């Protein structure tokens, strides 16, 4: 592998160093909220930082649902990491997938996109690998009910959602049409609520006059959750408002309802009324998260154990128990005070850890005060003009909540270009034109190979008997 200015040789002869001899080396794994904040907090520190991520972008996950529903283009919420950290001269960004961490030899093992092995030696390591979907022991559901964690996930969902209407338009079979026009979102937390609200607005306000054979207003949007309420951690008043608003938008909200089976054509749901099989081609998983496998890897290497959600326990200063040279922050860790898996926690932990490393690089080796989370509140949108927000003890709903939500989300995006672009798209998509400007889809590619193979074998087994589709 060729990289500029090598100085660190690795075990296998490759190297990926580009820093000054003798300077303290910090490796940060993950360029999400936790990783980027750690790097930024080290801006003025006399250290060499290598930030390694398997994607080339810093993803603003809270707006993924807007990519999935065609409101925003992926680039607006996922600026290149290189660009984000361009002016910070002590950071070098690497695109590589971290596969192993050797705590004894202080080496991070990663693979570049072409498969080349990269070894990254460190003096201090910060791991901020985030989380992934959890299907509660039913990983086979993932292909039929994908979740939304990456830009690829959101683009794939956009293809499935808009593709379902395309397939309904060409279908001559009423039952098949209904299956294409039924959308089920599993999980009524903020992501599920936001997505269900947007699916309803797509069907009712955006698409109706564009199709000739179907009436998109007949689409069924179902939101289900095993809990007895939507938005479980929010205040009762906000939960009530959210439920009423969703129902006004025609969303069929089913609480106390657990998914018991999911396949390509349907989802089976168990509720106090009994078990029901809902025929629906498009299902979205917004129900559970599992820490990055990096958490289990670090736990194993350091002799600790992860919790039920796969999260790594860390000390009050976010370091690995017994190791002050390794820190972990964000969604992949659990702390004594059981902090929620939200961006603010990851960012504040990143800043806290960065400051500790900076202090230590100046020779200050005192034990820091434990990490303390400052809760700035939580919020969720329900539609283009409705949101709930609980910030600084004040609970607001409706248009005011929506404005607050817009302001905070725009300000947290990185770069003025992205902020202005996002605002422009919101005004255009949600307020005036009620169009969705980003509707490129690739329906075939959105279904994975096994599903494609299943359809293919169906076609083969029925052979010549399949009539050609007539479009009337």
Ligand X SMILES: Cc1cc2nc3c(=O)[nH]c(=O)nc-3n(C[C@H](O)[C@H](O)[C@H](O)COP(=O)(O)OP(=O)(O)OC[C@H]3O[C@@H](n4cnc5c(N)ncnc54)[C@H](O)[C@@H]3O)c2cc1C
Count the site residues for ligand X by CB under 6 A. 33
Residue 70 contacts ligand X per CB under 6 A: no
Residue 29 contacts ligand X per CB under 6 A: yes
- Which residue among 19, 28, 34, 389 contacts ligand X (CB under 6 A)? 34
Smallest distance from ligand X to CB 346, Å:
3
Residue 219 contacts ligand X per CB under 6 A: no
Minimum CB distance to ligand X smaller for 374 or for 432: 374
Minimum CB distance to ligand X smaller for 179 or for 329: 329
Smallest distance from ligand X to CB 100, Å:
9
Site for ligand X in 316-335 (CB under 6 A): 330-331
**DSSP letter, residue 258:** E
Residue 55 contacts ligand X per CB under 6 A: yes
Smallest distance from ligand X to CB 113, Å:
11
Residue 97 contacts ligand X per CB under 6 A: yes
Site for ligand X in 170-199 (CB under 6 A): 190-191
Minimum CB distance to ligand X smaller for 227 or for 391: 391
393 φ, ψ (degrees, to nearest 5): 80, -5
Q: Which of 104, 166, 169, 194 is catalytic?
A: 194
Four-CA torsion 76, 392, 245, 62, nearest 10 degrees: 20
Which residue's CB comes closest to ligand X? 32
DSSP secondary structure letters along 79-119:
-BHHHHTTT-TTEEEEE-EEEEEETTTTEEEEE-TTS-EEE
Query: How far apart, in Å, are the Cα atoms of 281 and each of 138, 157, 275?
Result: 18, 12, 19
Residue 242 contacts ligand X per CB under 6 A: no
Give the three-state DSSP class for 132.
strand
List all residues 6 or more positions away from 253 whose beta carbon is below 8 Å from its beta carbon.
188, 196, 223, 224, 230, 243, 246, 247
Smallest distance from ligand X to CB 318, Å:
12
Four-CA torsion 237, 240, 241, 247, nearest 10 degrees: 180
**Strand extents, DSSP E, 373-420:** 378-381, 387-391, 394-397
Can you tell me the distance from the alpha carbon of 34 to that of 293, in angstroms, rounded to the nearest whole number? 16
Residue 126 contacts ligand X per CB under 6 A: no
Q: Give the end-to-end CA distance of the chain in Å, rounded to a whole number.
A: 58
Smallest distance from ligand X to CB 110, Å:
7
Residue 375 contacts ligand X per CB under 6 A: no
Q: Which helix (H) or strand (E) holds 333?
A: strand 333-334
**Residue 194 designated active-site:** yes
Residue 31 contacts ligand X per CB under 6 A: yes
**Candidate segments 40-48, 200-208, 336-344, 435-443, binder of ligand X by CB under 6 A:** 336-344
Smallest distance from ligand X to CB 294, Å:
6
H, E, C per residue of 264-332: CCEEEEEECCEEEEEECCEEEECCCEEECHHHHHHHHHHCCCCCCCCCEECCCCCEECCEEEEEECHHH
Residue 401 contacts ligand X per CB under 6 A: no
Residue 164 contacts ligand X per CB under 6 A: no
Smallest distance from ligand X to CB 179, Å:
26
Hey, how many other C-beta atoms are within 10 angstroms of the C-beta on 364?
A: 10
Residue 130 contacts ligand X per CB under 6 A: yes
Residue 129 contacts ligand X per CB under 6 A: yes
Can you tell me the distance from the alpha carbon of 455 to that of 176, in angstroms, rounded to the nearest whole number? 15
Can you tell me the distance from the alpha carbon of 343 to that of 130, in angstroms, rounded to the nearest whole number? 10
Minimum CB distance to ligand X smaller for 90 or for 349: 349
Can you tell me the distance from the alpha carbon of 39 to that of 3, in angstroms, rounded to the nearest whole number? 21
- Which residue among 161, 278, 346, 357 contacts ligand X (CB under 6 A)? 346
Nearest by Cα to 262 from 147, 141, 135: 141
Smallest distance from ligand X to CB 471, Å:
36
Minimum CB distance to ligand X smaller for 190 or for 310: 190
Residues marked active site are found at 194
Residues that bind ligand X (CB under 6 A): 29-35, 52-55, 59, 61-62, 64, 97-98, 128-130, 148-149, 190-191, 292, 294, 330-331, 341-344, 346
């Amino acid at each position: 592998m060729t990289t500029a200015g090598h100085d660190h040789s690795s075990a296998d002869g490759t190297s990926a160093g580009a820093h000054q001899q003798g300077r303290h080396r910090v490796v940060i794994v993950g360029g999400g909220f936790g990783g980027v904040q750690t790097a930024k907090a080290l801006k003025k520190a006399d250290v060499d930082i290598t930030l390694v991520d398997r994607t080339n972008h810093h993803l603003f996950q809270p707006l993924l649902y807007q990519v999935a529903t065609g409101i925003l283009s992926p680039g607006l919420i996922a600026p290149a990491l290189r660009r984000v950290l361009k002016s910070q001269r002590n950071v070098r960004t690497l695109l590589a997938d971290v596969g192993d961490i050797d705590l004894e030899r202080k080496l991070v093992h990663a693979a570049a996109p072409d498969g080349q092995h990269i070894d990254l030696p460190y003096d201090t390591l910060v791991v901020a690998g985030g989380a992934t979907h959890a299907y509660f022991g039913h990983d086979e559901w993932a292909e039929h009910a994908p979740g939304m964690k990456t830009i690829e996930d959101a683009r794939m969902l956009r293809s499935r959602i808009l593709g379902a209407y395309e397939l309904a338009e060409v279908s001559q079979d009423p039952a098949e049409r209904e299956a294409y026009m039924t959308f089920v979102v599993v999980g009524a937390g903020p992501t599920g609520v936001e997505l269900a609200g947007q699916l309803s607005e797509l069907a009712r306000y955006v698409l109706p006059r564009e199709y000739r054979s179907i009436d998109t207003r007949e689409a069924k949007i179902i939101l289900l959750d095993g809990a007895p309420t939507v938005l479980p951690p929010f205040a009762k008043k906000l939960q009530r408002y959210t439920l009423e608003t969703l129902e006004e938008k025609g969303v069929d909200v089913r609480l106390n309802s657990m998914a018991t089976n999911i396949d390509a054509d349907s989802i089976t749901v168990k509720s106090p009324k009994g078990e029901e099989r809902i025929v629906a081609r498009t299902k979205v998983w917004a129900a559970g998260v599992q820490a990055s496998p990096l958490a289990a890897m670090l736990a194993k290497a350091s002799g600790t154990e992860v919790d039920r959600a796969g999260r790594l326990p860390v000390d009050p200063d976010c370091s690995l128990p017994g190791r002050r040279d390794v820190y972990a922050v964000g969604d992949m860790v659990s702390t004594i005070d059981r902090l929620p898996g939200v961006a603010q926690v990851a960012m504040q932990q990143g800043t806290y850890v960065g400051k500790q490393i900076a202090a230590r690089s100046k020779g200050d080796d005192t034990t820091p005060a434990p990490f303390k989370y400052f809760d700035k509140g939580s919020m969720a949108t329900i539609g283009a003009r409705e949101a709930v927000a609980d910030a600084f003890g004040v609970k607001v709903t409706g248009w005011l909540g929506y404005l607050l939500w817009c302001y905070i989300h725009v300000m947290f995006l990185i770069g003025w270009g992205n902020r202005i672009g996002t605002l422009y798209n919101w005004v255009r998509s949600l307020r005036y034109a009620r169009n969705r400007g980003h509707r490129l889809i690739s329906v075939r590619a959105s279904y994975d190979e096994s599903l494609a193979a299943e359809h293919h074998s169906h076609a083969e087994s029925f052979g010549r008997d399949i009539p050609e589709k007539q479009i009337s």
